[in-house]
């Protein structure tokens, strides 16, 4: 066994898993607060990455200005979607709401094809290009720096949810909407905030992933890969999103390296199947018991 190779592969997988965790966090924040499974998360990522392309490529802004602008743009998009398309669906069946998010995804794909055409794109280089070595282990610079930026946002989020008034309101609404409402929390505002924060995390991940793997209107498919992460971790668990994101990223990469690229997805779906059998609510998800 070549342990150096295993170490390098694992490091690459863990770093990629960090980005999966960030996307999953966006997914979980929205689900936790509003109980909406957002199938448009991948397309929100895609839209933010195209915004970055427009700002840094088309308008030739500094990437470090374009990055926050694109991320804010993606989060505003999330807020607008919630206010105009999701909120009117309050009280409707969950399937209807899911169908709305699928429709939104389709609209966003059409919109980017209309604005930016269907051509495959590469984002302007904005991350350092010098190889990163951790001891003797090589790590691709885009993945390494992408992981660092993503981790910084993760830490800010965790601190915000733990200590800020907004974070407490969000957690309270997630635990019990009626109780939160009776305590004076503006639940509708919390819903909107959840979409804004969830979309913000997804948008940052979108730009970082697109910087590594390129961008096209089909970019949003990555959202489906992340669905595996959130189901394994637990749909309503932030800890689950983080742990499962890192684990699935590592597993996918190791399976790809040792078994071949065609085994990446089967490996992760095998884990998903096992988890669904053992813990249907995910590793860290809430086990809801419904009595009929």
Partner 1 sequence: MFRNILEKGRRLAGLGSLVAALTVAAPAMAQDKEPIVFGGSIPLSGVFAFAGIHIHAGLTDYTNWINSQGGINGHPVKYVMEDTAYEVDRSVAAFKKISGSSSPATYYGDSTGFMKAIASELNSQGNTLMSGASFATVLTDNETYPYQFIPGPNYSQMFGIILEYIASQGEGGDMPNVAFVYSDTEFGKDPIENGKARAAELGIEVVEEIVTKPGSVDVSAEVLKLRRVRPDYVVFHGYVLSPINEFMVQMRQMGLDTQFMGTFWSSDKLIIDKMGADADGYMGVMPYNYYDSEESGPMLDALRAQAEKSDPEAGYRPTGYMQGWFNAMVWTEVVKRTLDAGKELTGDNMAEALASIEDWDTGGIIGIPVTVRDMSFPVGRIWRVNADEGRYEPVSDWIHLD
Question: Where on the chain is the footprint of partner 1 (CB under 8 A)?
Answer: 5, 8-9, 12-13, 16, 113, 117-122, 129-131, 138-143, 209-210, 212-219, 221-222, 253-254, 256-257, 260-262, 264-265
In b/e form, how buried is each residue of 110-135, taking b as 16+ CB within 10 angstroms? eebeeebeeeebebeebbeeeebeee
CB of 135 to partner 1, least distance (A): 15
Give Cβ neighbours of residue 156 (< 8 Å, ≥ 6 apart): none
- Closest distance of CB 207 from partner 1, Å: 12
Longest dimension (CA), the chain: 60
* Residue 29 neighbours by CB distance under 10 Å: 28
Residue 51 vs 86, nearer CB to partner 1:
51
> In whole angstroms, how close is the CB of 255 to partner 1 at the nearest point?
10
Residue with Cβ nearer partner 1 (16 or 36): 16
Specify the residue, 217 or 282, whose C-beta has the smaller distance to partner 1.
217
Nearer to partner 1, 46 or 190 (CB): 46
Q: Write down the least CB distance from residue 238 to partner 1, Å.
A: 24
What whole-number distance in Å separates Cα of residue 197 and Cα of residue 195?
6
Looking at the Cβ atoms of 73 and 217, the one nearer to partner 1 is 217
Closest distance to partner 1 from the beta carbon of 22 (Å): 14
Our CB check for partner 1 shows the closer of 177 and 212 to be 212
Q: How far is the CB of 42 from partner 1 (least distance, A)?
A: 10
């Amino acid at each position: 066994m070549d342990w150096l190779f295993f170490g390098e592969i694992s490091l690459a997988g863990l770093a990629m898993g960090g980005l999966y965790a960030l996307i999953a966090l966006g997914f979980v924040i929205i689900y936790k607060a509003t109980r909406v499974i957002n199938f448009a998360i991948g397309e929100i990522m895609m839209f933010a990455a195209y915004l970055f392309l427009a700002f840094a490529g088309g308008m030739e802004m500094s990437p470090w200005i374009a990055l926050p602008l694109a991320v804010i743009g993606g989060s505003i998009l999330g807020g607008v979607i919630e206010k105009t398309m999701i909120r009117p669906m309050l009280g409707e069946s969950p399937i209807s709401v899911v169908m709305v998010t699928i429709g939104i995804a389709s609209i966003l794909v059409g919109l980017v094809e209309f604005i930016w055409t269907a051509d495959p794109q590469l984002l302007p280089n904005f991350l350092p290009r010098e190889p990163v070595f951790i001891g003797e282990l090589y790590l691709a610079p885009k993945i390494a720096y992408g992981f660092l930026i993503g981790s910084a946002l993760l830490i800010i989020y965790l601190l915000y949810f733990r200590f800020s008034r907004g974070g407490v309101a969000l957690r309270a609404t997630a635990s019990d909407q009626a109780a939160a409402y009776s305590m004076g929390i503006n639940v509708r505002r919390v819903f909107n905030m959840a979409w804004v924060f969830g979309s913000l995390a997804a948008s940052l991940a979108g730009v970082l992933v697109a910087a590594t793997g390129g961008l096209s209107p089909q970019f949003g498919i990555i959202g489906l890969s992340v669905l595996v992460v959130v189901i394994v971790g637990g749909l309503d668990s932030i800890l689950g999103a983080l742990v499962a994101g890192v684990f699935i990223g590592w597993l996918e990469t190791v399976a790809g390296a040792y078994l071949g690229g065609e085994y990446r997805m089967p490996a992760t779906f095998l884990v998903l199947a096992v988890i669904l059998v053992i813990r249907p609510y995910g590793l860290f998800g809430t086990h809801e018991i419904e009595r009929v």
